[in-house]
Structure 1
């Protein structure tokens, strides 16, 4: 059995940390002894989550504030507040994300823009703001929660997939720029996770994951840094194998393994979540 990860004295900042995956990541980090700053667009929810984690008697100090990852000033303020209250940020977890599901030609323009702005530009913003300070200090780790959609073909999630593919491409390029520095970059790419973001979607051949599965992967990645992490772990090697197959065989296998969200989505189950994007054009 592996020894528990000890993050005593470390400072972590988690975006989109009020609910779902982000909340579990914050919980796991604090349980491991880290001091944790939770940022979320819903500032009150972030504060309530921090209070709940503190009341649970976790080892690390936790606080929550409002954070809009689409605003550079908001993101910079979040990191500055974390440093002022807890100390220099050792680990940034880029977790904030949104997803619209349905046919590409029925997607509201606002939904496409929101997904790219939050899911891709939010990550870019976080890396730009956090990495230089980490490089100057000589240490730091930026972990981005992307998606298996970064490497899979996922019908019904065109703009979401575009953003997640972009995240992986961006981090690959930045990793090369930082290869002589001690700063670590990691991208965690899970299959479907049981959260509001994925409500009503199919899982394909993979089992439905829980937020705690992603939190455990974050701790394991801090303990033993790796760049690309897929959950389940077999997705990475499987995709490398599939990608060397002839095109027709590759397409056939992908259609068996990956859910077609256009056909499988339960629109009623997603109605409350997707109200944030407005009605289709």
Structure 2
């Protein structure tokens, strides 16, 4: 199961697992018809079962019930990828409390609820993989992103704690911490910033958005998907409780 998997990083991860022969539970808050394009794209990857589960992960009950629904449909849950997340940029004194609450609910609380429901099923079978998509902002801070930075730090802490609790149960728990990732949403932001600031898109990418990343290159969603797939192999069974950076050298500074 991959939360927030109808676009961007989540969609790439869902496609990668489908291509490896996994049945895939796709999730977003959209209706099933609105998610049809993503479902078709994932289904093209291989002849596996791909099902859509709508849930607003800002709601605790829907987060928990999502796992129950997936296990009910597939009979088991081998891999849980907590990818869903949202962002808001504002100084702390102007940060709307409602936005804070929703970001925490989607990016951190939902991971707690899904993990809490998934662990008993995995432990009963002696095997499971939990992958939380955190961020370089789970290891470093940036101004005006208080809720996002706080939740991603929380996701890293949650990852480490659950890894210790499940270390002898055949379950590994890891966090992937990407830097800036190239998605359609980011592409639109590049174009908008170039227009607003009167500079080229290349200057926006190199001098504004990718200033923290020494490579001056966006991480591609497929890179994150490949790392997630590797973490689910037996070769990665000793990797647990780790926050793995894939950020073009950002956190090396």
In structure 1, C-alpha distance between the alignment counterparts of 2:138 and 2:179, rounded to whole Å:
10
In structure 2, C-alpha distance between the alignment counterparts of 1:31 and 1:117, rounded to whole Å:
31
Deviates more, 1:197-206 or 1:84-93: 197-206
TM-score, length-scaled by structure 2: 0.81
Structure 1 moving runs of 4+ over 4 Å: 233-236
Equivalent position of 1:82 in the other structure? 70
Equivalent position of 2:150 in the other structure? 162
For residues 117-150 of structure 1, give each alpha carbon's deviation from its aligned partner in whole angstroms, at most 9, with x where no partner exists: 1111111111111112211221111101010101
User: SS state of the match for residue 218, structure 1?
Assistant: helix
In the alignment, which of 224, 232, 236 is matched to residue 222 of structure 1? 232
CA contact (8 A) 1:27 1:53 kept: yes
User: SS state of the match for residue 160, structure 1?
Assistant: helix
In the alignment, which of 71, 74, 80 is matched to residue 92 of structure 1? 80
Equivalent position of 1:66 in the other structure? 54
Q: Residue 71 of structure 1: CA displacement?
A: 2.8
What value does the CA root-mean-square deviation take over the aligned residues? Answer: 2.1
Equivalent position of 2:136 in the other structure? 148
Deviates more, 1:98-107 or 1:44-53: 44-53
Deviates more, 1:143-152 or 1:102-111: 102-111
- Identify unmatched segments of 5+ residues in structure 2: 191-207
For residues 53-112 of structure 1, give each alpha carbon's deviation from its aligned partner in whole angstroms, at most 9, with x where no partner exists: 22x252322111201223343233322332233330100000000011232222222211
The number of residue pairs the alignment matches comes to 225
- Identify unmatched segments of 5+ residues in structure 1: 1-12, 239-252, 254-281
In structure 1, C-alpha distance between the alignment counterparts of 2:45 and 2:218, rounded to whole Å:
29
Equivalent position of 1:212 in the other structure? 222
In structure 2, C-alpha distance between the alignment counterparts of 1:115 and 1:196, rounded to whole Å:
21
Deviates more, 1:223-232 or 1:140-149: 223-232
